[in-house]
Amino acid sequence: MDPIAKIFEEAKKNPKMRKKLKIKAAFSLVLFIAFLGVILITIGTFVSARNGSFLGMDHLDFLKLRAKYGLLMMALILTHLAMNWNMMKKELELLFG
């Protein structure tokens, strides 16, 4: 088993850590599902630019939707980053520290 998976398995056994990991896991799932929306809107933006419309919406509709959806993704990603900030700091230290 890779070392990170091993640490995860150990952390799962600690009830406090388990709760924390479950909150992170639930948030990651929300982020993943929201990301499927990004794929759909991006495809819609491309296809409607070529064909005039996609799923009943024109190119401008998709651009407007993308702007709004982008705000939602920004909020989700910033929260995700805040939740993983310690790990991110360690990764940055590895690169520049």
Helix (H, G, I), strand (E, B) or coil at 2: coil
Q: How far is the CB of 62 from ligand HEM (least distance, A)?
A: 19
Geometric angle at alpha carbon 15, from 12 and 21, rounded to 5°: 50
**Tokens at 8, concatenated:** 């995860």
Residues binding ligand HEM (CB under 6 A): 24, 28, 31-32, 35, 77, 80-81, 84, 87-88
Q: How far is the CB of 64 from ligand HEM (least distance, A)?
A: 21
Which residue, 32 or 96, has its beta carbon nearer to ligand HEM?
A: 32
Geometric angle at alpha carbon 20, from 15 and 21, rounded to 5°: 95
DSSP assignment letter at 84: T
Which amino acid is residue 24, in one-letter code?
K
Which residue, 43 or 77, has its beta carbon nearer to ligand HEM?
A: 77
Which residue, 24 or 68, has its beta carbon nearer to ligand HEM?
A: 24
